[in-house]
Amino acid sequence: MFDNIYKDKRVLITGHTGYKASWLALWLKRMGAIVFGISHAPHPPPTHYEIIDLHNILEKDIHSDISLIDEINSLKPDIVFHLAARAIVANTFNEPESTFQYTVMGAVHMLELCRQCPSVQGVVMATSDKVYLNNEWNYAYREIDTLGGDDPYSTSKVCVEHIVECYRKSFDMNIAVGRCGNVIGGGDFSEKRLIPDIAKATAKGEVVVIHTPNATRPFQHTLEALQGYLLLGKEILKGNDVNKCFNFGPTHEMTVLEVLEIAQARWKNVKFEVDNKPTHKFMVYKLKIDSVESRKLGWEPVWGMVPAVVETIEWYKAYFEKGLILTNKNIDDYEEEYGLHHRD
């Protein structure tokens, strides 16, 4: 995949102790990249970072307050993937100041370091599909649609988008932004996320309480989102201009209740009850995104929404019931199916 472009490339990932970035780091290492990570120290176990022993996989693993790191020049990265941010929407209501500090100023700091680092050819910046002004319509948001945020999480992401545009225009930097649909996959143990809550409750023999069962989301496996980021990185390393935003999401969406039903079909011990009370006052009930622009790059989903939920549930079931870690197997299976999709 990706024309072997990452082999021997020096890649810096921020937020690598987080769930999604840890998958990215492992995948890049498998492709022969020289991978560096900068992040806060990992949360208490279990974490995906710990489970896959990422510390011993990376070329250099720096745990520090990301806003204080000044080692980028010594690392000499060819490309930077910036995924560090405050990630749990519900928690940002309790910590708005730190949300803006780490998400917004963290992005500013890394862009400034990249601007001053001669080796950096470009940056892939992860934001969110929550950056769009919430209209609660059945229309799929396009990259040209109005941005808007009412809650700390989405507002911080919108701020990052404006900062990126500033650095593009003011300093002629090549910065690609990935706006991904709701990402799911094994190894996420965060609180207040749908499938991790289901998996942890089931492992304890407890009933999981689910809110807003009819809310729709563009659920996709984390490997789909990372395929998008890596395609953007490929274009940067080829010297192509990708100074724009790209949506990465499935062609349809799924309700929270449908996810639960699939989970229960694959893991009979799953038990749930519904509480229709929203988790916060800015809850988005209808969300879908248009990924036409990313398809022009060659991006396309390999696993649909149902397989994404199935693979995710099977990861947790294997981990909690048998102590197995299916991350590498998931990547193997994904690459194999990707190859079948692109066979001449």
CATH topology classification for 2-341: Rossmann fold (3.40.50)
Which amino acid appears at position 271 of this protein?
K
Position 277 confidence tier, pLDDT thresholds 50, 70, 90: confident
Which amino acid appears at position 212 of this protein?
T
Mean local confidence (pLDDT), 221-250: 97
Q: How far from chain centre, in Å, is Cα 258?
A: 22
List pLDDT tens digits, range 95-142: 999 999 999 999 999 999 999 999 999 999 999 999 999 998 889 999
- The domain spans of the chain are 2-341
Give the pLDDT of residue 29: 98
What residues have CB less than 8 Å from 135, skipping those under 6 apart? none
Give the pLDDT of residue 244: 96
Contact of 23 with 81, CB cutoff 8 Å: no
Whether residue 250 has pLDDT greater than 90: yes
Contact of 55 with 47, CB cutoff 8 Å: no
187: left (phi over 0), alpha (psi -120 to 50) or beta: left
Q: How far from chain centre, in Å, is Cα 94?
A: 22
Asked, as a colleague might, if the bond just before 42 is cis with ω within 30 of 0, I would say no
Whether residue 285 has pLDDT greater than 90: no
Give the pLDDT of residue 149: 86
CA angle 61, 23, 149 (to 5 degrees): 100
CA angle 185, 187, 193 (to 5 degrees): 70
Position 343 confidence tier, pLDDT thresholds 50, 70, 90: low
Residue scoring higher pLDDT (72 or 206):
206
Number of H helices, E strands in the chain: 12, 13
Question: E strands, the chain, where?
Answer: 10-14, 34-39, 60-63, 79-82, 122-126, 175-180, 183-184, 208-211, 216-217, 220-221, 245-248, 254-255, 272-275
**If you compute the radius of gyration of the chain from its CA atoms, what whole number of angstroms results?**
19
Position 67 confidence tier, pLDDT thresholds 50, 70, 90: confident
**High-pLDDT (> 90) share of the chain, %:** 82
Position 86 confidence tier, pLDDT thresholds 50, 70, 90: confident
Q: How far from chain centre, in Å, is Cα 222?
A: 6
Give the pLDDT of residue 72: 87
Average pLDDT value over all residues in the chain: 94
Give the pLDDT of residue 89: 78
List pLDDT tens digits, range 135-194: 988 899 999 999 998 899 999 999 999 999 999 999 999 999 999 989 999 999 998 899
Mean local confidence (pLDDT), 279-307: 90
> pTM of this prediction?
0.96
Give the pLDDT of residue 56: 96
Whether residue 344 has pLDDT greater than 60: no
Position 64 confidence tier, pLDDT thresholds 50, 70, 90: confident
